[in-house]
Amino acid sequence: MSKTRIAFIGAGNMASSLIGGLLAKGFDAAQIRASDPGADTRAKVAAEHGIDVFAENEKAVQDADVIVIAVKPQAMKAVCQDLRPHLQPKQLVVSIAAGINASSLLEWLGTQQPLVRCMPNTPALLGKGVSGLFATQQVTQAQRALADELLSAVGVVVWVEQEAQIDAVTAVSGSGPAYFFLLIEAMTNAGVKLGLSHDVAEKLAEHTALGAACMAVDSDADAAELRRRVTSPAGTTEAAIKSFQASGFEATVEKALSAAAHRSAELAEQLGQ
Ligand SMILES: NC(=O)c1ccc[n+]([C@@H]2O[C@H](COP(=O)([O-])OP(=O)(O)OC[C@H]3O[C@@H](n4cnc5c(N)ncnc54)[C@H](OP(=O)(O)O)[C@@H]3O)[C@@H](O)[C@H]2O)c1
């Protein structure tokens, strides 16, 4: 277990999930502190996790090895600029804010600050997330390992070597939970049209998504092979898959993810001003 000191700036949903995940992994509450302007938020996080909390961000970052900035994207510029005079060159800053480029963050924090930019997703709130991480040049191997350990507290971690790939991560996993919600919704409604009650159709759709995801993650075979294995010639699954494909399912998915990646780049441009 690492003895790293971690400061969270912003103690909302994501910070609380990360803190809970770190404690569950064996981190000591004394290694973690957080700052937040909300007295109620501070009281809640302190009571839930037993960590020190501060109203002032500069108090939280003192002597921290890693500073996780977990405020809304719109608050990032002011928070980074206010922190800048209080940062030490060796402190790793981890940003989990959606849509803010490393170049903007470094402009606000100081260009030499080691920085890891992360794109987590909502299931991280249940410890079932997947995050895409990008490290800037100043980040050491040890700091990379720390960022990996940190985000692993709420799920699976992947690294990308080019920052532009974060837009693709956003398109696949950042926005991805909503695609599965849409599919669950559509399958539930279709089940109702086929004669099931809403509750039964929803339970079937939700647990089918969960079971299929578990099989895909656990199996050595890829999704295409798993699909072939459950698709008997001239059977019911084949009838459905043929219907999906005749309606251009793959092209629809590709187009949707391109739209998300494009919007991610556009938002980064706007939020980085
Ligand atoms: N939730 C997710 O599933 C998810 C997924 C991917 C990425 N993210 C990213 O994670 C970040 C945090 O999201 P969240 O859902 O945890 O938001 P959240 O629950 O609103 O938490 C943000 C916290 O930061 C506080 N804050 C505001 N200004 C601050 C300041 N100047 N200094 C310190 N703290 C300040 C907020 O206080 P007030 O409420 O009083 O303003 C709030 O308690 C966002 O940038 C988001 O893009 C979240």
CATH class of domain segment(s) 6-166: alpha beta
Any idea what DSSP says for residue 174? I
Please indicate whether the domains covering 6-166 and 176-268 agree at the CATH topology level. Answer: no
Question: Where are the domains positioned within the chain?
Answer: 6-166, 176-268
Strands (E), 101-154: 115-119, 129-135
Among the atoms of ligand 1, which is closest to the Cα of residue 82? 31
The CATH code for residues 176-268 is: 1.10.3730.10
Q: Which of 40, 53, 71, 125 to mutate to test the pocket of ligand 1 (most atoms within 8 A of CB)?
A: 71
Do 26 and 1 contact (CB within 8 A), yes or no?
yes
Measure 145 CA to ligand 1 centroid, in angstroms: 24
How many helices (DSSP H) and strands (DSSP E) are in the chain? 12, 8
**Which residue has a Cα nearest atom 9 of ligand 1?**
97
Q: Over its length of 273 residues, how does the chain's per-residue pLDDT go in tens digits? A: 458 999 999 999 999 999 999 999 999 999 999 999 999 999 999 999 999 999 999 999 999 999 999 999 999 999 999 999 999 999 999 999 988 999 999 999 998 999 999 999 999 989 999 999 999 999 999 999 999 999 999 999 999 999 999 999 999 999 999 999 999 999 999 999 999 999 999 999 999 999 999 999 999 999 999 999 999 999 999 999 999 999 999 999 999 999 999 999 999 888 887
Q: Which of 26, 113, 165, 18 is nearest to 34 (CA)?
A: 18
- In the reported structure, the alpha carbon of residue 221 is separated from the centroid of ligand 1 by a whole-number distance in angstroms of 38
